[in-house]
Amino acid sequence: MSIRQHLLIAFTAVGFLSAPHLTGVAYADSHAQAALALDSNAISDVAEKTVDSVVNISTEAVVESEVDPFFGDFFGGGGPQKMEGKGSGVIVTANGRILTNAHVVKGATDISVTLQDGSELKAKVVGVDPRADLAVIQLEGKVPGNLKPIPWGDSASLRLGEIVLAIGDGLGVGKSVSMGIVSAKGRGLRIAEYEDFIQTDAAINPGNSGGALVNLKGELVGINTAIASRSGGYSGIGFAIPTNMAKPIMEMLMKDGKVSRGYLGVGIATVNSQLATEYSLPTQKGVLVASVEDGSPAEKAGLIAGDVITAINGNAIRTDDQLKNTIAMIHPTSSVDLDVVHKDGKTSTVKAKLAELPEQHDAMQPQIAPTQQKSRKTSRTRGAFQP
């Protein structure tokens, strides 16, 4: 039986339950046709080439549990409790450096890594960046000489509909591979300070966090991080940190153990037609400067509330997340050219010298909430069966 027939059978059984599910048949058919358009062994070749570069991560953490004020003395409880977690990671160097999510190793007192051959090694944290939910750990002891660092890909070159594979320890049952497509790019979920997620419908479940999203060249294009789900399980909406964001953060963590980000000092909001009308803005594109911090690089450069930033160093800026991420990835003390539309409609290029974002300082956040946004439960994928 062909791949296409298997997929159609699987989805047709669901599709006839009710009319809304009939879309599942067309969805499966598109996947099948895309798969059949490839060489029959292409997907298997990629999976077998990259699976050894992904590891399973088990953690232990000690947390303080609360005592029930009514039953604590009778039933006990309270005090330190041991918690276990499951996640995934990607081998990035031959000497045992592994890239994963910060939430996978957060608070861990013990980290164990299981390699493809079943061997288990302890690991220590090299650096953590909770603002982007990334971490680097290092295998301890005698590191095997046959580790396979994963090749890096260019996440910016990903196209909508492009086939990708997700590899990781989904639901804690062991490492596995799932296939899907790139559903969207540049997603922001407000679960981390810095976000530029790749959305995919490749099956991603709790335990997949920190695992690899790879293209059909066998290159790493994303670090699987979160799922959008009503139940906490797979619903066809998964998110991965793109490599073009993850790689420079990883390199800073490996070099310095921390991440240094550029700091402008403004509160921002994405400009749209409604915002432009409500605040009488002279443009409907760009990012509104809603507030300027005292003594910040923005104030020193002459930016004021009501200005709209449309480009940084000649590159168009459309959203608040794009501006925030761009500034963050520019080295502190660097100067940037900001194309600005002022309140009176005049335009100018403002030069600002960035500072370093303080560790305890909140990143630039939107100051004006979207007028309509449907609620959605978004779950990081850490731990077996964790919603």
Active site residue 6: no
Whether 342 is catalytic is: no
Catalytic residue among 133, 169, 320, 339, which? 133
Radius of gyration for the chain, computed over Cα atoms and rounded to the nearest angstrom: 23
| Catalytic annotation, pick one of 209, 229, 320, 339 | 209
Classify strands 163-168 and 262-263 as parallel, antiparallel or unpaired: unpaired
**HEC letters along the chain:** CCHHHHHHHHHHHHHCCCHHHHHHHHHHHHHHHHHHHCCCCHHHHHHHHHHHHEEEEEEEEEEEECCCCCCHHHHCCCEEEEEEEEEEEEECCCCCEEEECHHHHCCEEEEEEECCCCCEEEEEEEEEECCCCEEEEEECCCCCCCCCCCCECCHHHCCCCCEEEEEECHHHCCCEEEEEEEEEEEECCCCCCCCCEEEECCCCCCCCCCCEEECCCCCEEEEEEEEECCCCCCCCCEEEEEHHHHHHHHHHHHHHCCCCCEECCEEEEECCHHHHHHCCCCCCCCEEEEEECCCCHHHHHCCCCCCEEEEECCEECCCHHHHHHHHHCCCCCCEEEEEEECCCCCEEEEEEECEECCCCCCCCCECCCCCCCCCCCEEECCCCCCC
Closest CA to 356 of 267, 276, 258, 284: 258
Which residue in the list 31, 53, 103, 129 is annotated as catalytic? 103
Catalytic site includes residue 169: no
**CA torsion angle 118 134 206 125 (round to 10):** 40
Taking the C-alpha atoms of residue 143 and residue 293, their distance in angstroms, rounded to an integer, is 48
Q: Which residues does the annotation mark as catalytic?
A: 103, 133, 209
